Amino acid sequence: MLDLKQIRDNAAVVQELLNRRSTDTYQIQPLLELDRQQRELESTRTHLQARSNKIGKLIGEKIRGGSDPKGAEIAALKEEGNEIKAQLGASQPQIEQLKTEIEELLLAFPNLPDESTPIGANETENVEIRRWGDEYLPQNPNILPHHDIAKQLGIIDFERAVKVAQSRFVCLTGAGAALERALITFMLSRHIAAGYVEVMPPILVNSTALTGTGQLPKFAEESFKCDKDDLWLTPTAEVPVTNLYREEILQASQLPIYHCAYTPCFRREAGSYGKDTKGIIRLHQFNKVELVKFVHPETSEGEHQTLVQDAEAILQALKLPYRVIQLCTGDLGFSAAKCYDLEVWLPSAGKYREISSCSNFKDFQGRRGKIRFKEAKKKGTQFVHTLNGSGLAIGRTMAAILENYQQPDGTVKVPEVLQPLLGREML
Partner RNA sequence: GGAGAGGUGGCCGAGUGGUUGAAGGCGCAGCACUGGAAAUGCUGUUUGGCGGCAACGUCAACGAGGGUUCGAAUCCCUCCCUCUCCGCCA
Q: Assess 222 for contact with RNA (CB under 7 A).
A: no
Shortest distance, position 60 Cβ to RNA, whole Å? 3
The β-bridge relationship of strands 225-226 and 231-233 is: antiparallel
Distance (Å) of CA 277 to CA 147, 151, 167, 286: 11, 15, 9, 14
- Name the residue nearer to RNA (CB basis): 78 or 282: 78
Asked if 61 touches RNA (CB under 7 A), the answer is yes
Q: Nearer Cβ to RNA, position 52 or 236?
A: 52
Footprint (CB under 7 A) of RNA, residues 81-120: 81-82, 85, 96
Tell me how many degrees the CA angle 109-298-329 measures, rounded to the nearest 5: 35
Closest CA relative to residue 15, chosen from 1, 31, 38, 39: 31
- Residue 253 contacts RNA per CB under 7 A: no
63 binds RNA (CB under 7 A): yes
The dihedral built from the CA positions of residue 388, 394, 396 and 400, taken in this order, carries a sign that is positive
Q: Which is nearer to RNA, 234 or 359 (CB)?
A: 234
Direct distance between the N- and C-terminal alpha carbons of the chain, in angstroms, rounded to an integer: 47
| 57 vs 424 by CB, closer to RNA | 57
Distance from the Cα of residue 374 to its chain's centroid: 23
Using CB under 7 A, which of 134, 273, 377, 409 touches RNA?
Answer: 377
What are the beta bridge partners of residue 324? 130, 342
Q: Using the rule CB under 7 A, is 71 a contact of RNA? A: no
Please tell me the distance from the alpha carbon of residue 366 to that of residue 4, in angstroms, as a whole number: 14
Residue 252: name the closest of 370, 364, 376 by CA.
376
Residue 64 interacts with RNA (CB under 7 A)? yes
Cβ distance 176 to 150 under 8 Å? yes
**Residue 1 C-beta: closest distance to RNA, Å:** 12
Distance between CA atoms of residues 82 and 10, nearest Å: 41
Give least dist CB 65 to RNA, A.
Answer: 11
One of 10, 53, 140, 309 touching RNA (CB under 7 A) = 53
Q: Of the ranges 56-64, 121-129, 260-268, 317-325, which one interacts with RNA (CB under 7 A)?
A: 56-64
Angle between helices 72-108 and 29-64 (to 10 degrees): 160
Q: Which residues pair with 127 in a beta bridge?
A: 326
Q: How far is the CB of 51 from RNA (least distance, A)?
A: 8
**Using rule CB under 7 A, residue 208 touches RNA:** no
- Selected from 25, 29, 43, 166, the binder of RNA by CB under 7 A is 43
CB of 102 to RNA, least distance (A): 11
- Give 88 or 194: the residue with its C-beta nearer to RNA: 88
* Total site size for RNA, rule CB under 7 A: 34
Question: Which candidate, 371, 340, 331, places its Cα nearest to that of 209?
Answer: 371
Q: Helix (H, G, I), strand (E, B), or coil: what is residue 324?
A: strand
- 125 scored as a contact of RNA (CB under 7 A): no
Q: Is 249 in the site for RNA (CB under 7 A)?
A: yes
Binding residue (CB under 7 A) for RNA from 207, 381, 411, 419: 381
Site stretch for RNA (CB under 7 A), options 78-86, 101-109, 280-288, 385-393: 78-86
Give least dist CB 82 to RNA, A: 5
**Count of positions (residues) in the chain:** 427
Alpha-carbon gap, residue 369 to 365, rounded angstroms: 6
374 lies in the site for RNA, by CB under 7 A: yes
Give CA separation, 175 vs 86, 180, 186, 243, 410, in Å.
73, 8, 16, 35, 15
Cβ closest to RNA, residue 351 vs residue 378:
378
Residue 57 binding RNA, by CB under 7 A = yes
User: What is the side-by-side order of every strand in the sheet holding 257-266?
Assistant: 127-132, 322-326, 338-346, 351-362, 385-393, 285-295, 257-266, 197-199
- Nearest CB to RNA, comparing residues 252 and 313: 252
Shortest CB 405 distance to RNA, Å:
35
Of 313-372, which residues contact RNA (CB under 7 A)? 372
Q: Is 139 in the site for RNA (CB under 7 A)?
A: no
10 lies in the binding site for RNA (CB under 7 A)? no
Q: Is 387 exposed, middle or buried (0-12, 13-18, 19+ CB in 10 A)?
A: buried
- Least distance in angstroms from the C-beta of 85 to RNA: 5
Q: Residues in the site for RNA, rule: CB under 7 A? A: 4-5, 39, 42-43, 45-46, 49-50, 52-57, 59-61, 63-64, 69, 77-78, 81-82, 85, 96, 249, 372, 374, 376-377, 380-381
